[in-house]
Structures are given as C-alpha cells and as structure tokens.
Amino acid sequence: MEHVTDDLIVETAGAVGRIRLNRPKAIHALNTAMCEGVLAALEEWRTDADVRVVTIDHAEGRGFCAGGDIRMLAESGAKDGIEARQFFFTEYRMNHRLFTYAKDVVAFMDGITMGGGVGISQPCRYRVATENTRLAMPETGIGLFPDVGGGWYLSRLPGRIGQYLALTGHRLDGAECRALGLATHYLPASALDEAKARISDGPQAVLDELATDAPEARILAQRDAIDRLFASDRLEEVFAALEADSSDFAQTTLATLRTKSPQTMKVSLKLLKDGAGMATFADEMRQEYAVGSRVVQRHDFLEGVRAVIVDKDNAPKWDPATPEGVSDHVIDQIFAPLPDAEAWTPHD
C-alpha cells in the first residue's frame, strides 16, 4: 500500500505501516484531509495481519507537527463555523482511534510538537523525544485551549505541572518530556533512522536499545513553586498567588499569563479539572468538541489569530480583559453539552 497526497504520505514497508506528515511549509500542521488520511490508513491496517507496527513521523523540513490549520479555523469561526467543526470532529476521531488502537503505534516527536502535534503523538503507545523536541500547548495565547485530549493528558501530569503548561503555553524540551512521561523514550536524533529501519523487530526492544539517558529536566527544579502557585482551579487565585510572590519565576510567569486570554485560561482550568475525572477518552473528546465548537466562534479566538498569525502585532485585545471579567455563567455556557444530534461520536 502506498498513498501519497500533497500533505500526507502513507506507505507500508514490510511489517510497518508508515504515516508521514508532509506539509513542510506549515511545519506539518494538520488539516481535515490529513486527519481523514490517517483515519483511513489506521482502518485499513487494523485488519491487515501483515502490518504489525505503525509509525508516525514527518517528511522533509523542520518540526514534527506545529498544530492544526489555525487560519482555516478562524476564517470558518468568523462565518458559520461549519468547516471548523468538521475539522475538530475528524481530528478528534483520529485522536480517539489512535488512543484505542490495538497495534503498536510509534510517534517520533523530532522537533516542534505543538497543539495538534501533541494530539497525534500522545495517544501512541510509544512516544520518542529527541534533543530537537519542543512540545507545547500554546493555545491560550490565541484565545483557544489545549484540546486534542489536553484535558486528559495534562491533568494526569505530576502535581500542577499540567495546569502550568495549559495556562502559560511553556515549551518543554525532550528531556522534560521524558521526565514527565509525555515521551516513553529519549533518543538522539542521529539514531532515528536506525530505529525506524528496525522498528518491526519490536518497538519496545529496539527503542530500549537505542535510547540514551536524557539530560536533566529543568522544569523539575520549579516543581515545588509550580505546585504552590498553580494550586487553585480558580484563575483569580492563581494570579493572586503569583502577584504575592516576588521570585523571578513567579514574576516572569505572571507577565506571561497577562498576555493570554483570560477567558480561555478559565476554560483550560475547568477542562483539566473535569478531565482528571473523565471515565474514558471518548468522554474527554465529546466535551472538548462541545467546547471547541463554541470557542472557535468567540471574540478571543478571532482576535488572537488576528494578533499572532495574521497581523503579527502580538497585541491582542481580549474581551473580557481580566480574569474577574469572565463570569462563571459564560464558562458554563461554553461547556454545556451539545444536543445528541450535534455531539461528537467516535469512529465506528
């Protein structure tokens, strides 16, 4: 089997099914057709006894996957939102299919791994980080929230590190990913070709053999401060804790949060609080789809994309502009379940 589109390369090599993201000019950001292609490949290989392992990586160019097609989402959100909802619906089906896939799937997170890149790598049984890995969920900076399962993965990190990452969009390096369990293995980038060539021998054995000790995970030095400063699920209390702390870390973090959307920071905190108690990943996806369907049409997302991606003035005017201005009622509206006929459902 070999299937090549402009943006996705799908092929088999012996016992390995290979999915290669191929949008180098967009740092391999996902669009709806790419998600559909991944779903189709996983479905075909699900019953193919010759395919024992699936790998996901990127073709030419830097970065593994920079996220989703943000411009399309904003253009759709400014109109009727139909195309944006279709993307989320398909992407989340892909995320869920990877999460529940019976065969071993290996993601090679070599380079930028953000947003949708986190969503396509974290459900995989094996997640390989390198010295090039830069993993982040930076969505609050454009008035979005850490979706694609962010409420599930981030809420299961040690202490309050997930809340810190969700609100600040902080970038983790490969060593930090390994220490936090977001990566199962740390390999030098120079070993990836060998790993991919030998992966059909059994991912666990091959990756264990080629893995090296990761450098020190710098974020762990701030673990106590993060747990203390981000202890609350109320954004106002996080701000108050940061304002009361004169340390460089607290003040730098506070300055970062003041650039983010208060509305979607509150959405993110609730997402992680709810996500920690979700019974299944499908439940998580269903909630995130309802939230995403609404957030993508709200002011802060359209304004965030304008400021960061279109005009690049990096001066978004959030509305409301402060945490206090975002009412519980608004958050409840954003999180309300969709009617059954509109709700997200897993792939059959």
Average of per-residue pLDDT across 333-340 = 97
- pLDDT of the residue at 280: 98
pLDDT 10s digits, 89-135: 999 999 999 999 999 999 999 999 999 999 999 999 999 999 999 99
User: What's the pTM value of the predicted model, to 2 decimals?
Assistant: 0.96
Q: Where exactly are the structural domains of the chain? A: 2-335
Q: Point out the residues that are catalytic.
A: 68, 116, 139, 147
pLDDT at 1 over 60: no
pLDDT band at 225 (very low <50, low <70, confident <90, very high): very high
Average of per-residue pLDDT across 142-168 = 98
CATH number corresponding to 2-335: 3.90.226.10
Evaluate whether 72 touches 83 at the Cβ level (below 8 Å). yes
pLDDT at 5 over 70: no
Average of per-residue pLDDT across 229-235 = 98
Parallel, antiparallel or unpaired: strands 112-114 and 53-58? unpaired
pLDDT 10s digits, 187-210: 999 999 999 999 999 999 999 999
E strand or H helix at 58? strand 53-58
What is the distance between the alpha carbons of residues 120 and 149, in angstroms, rounded to a whole number? Answer: 10
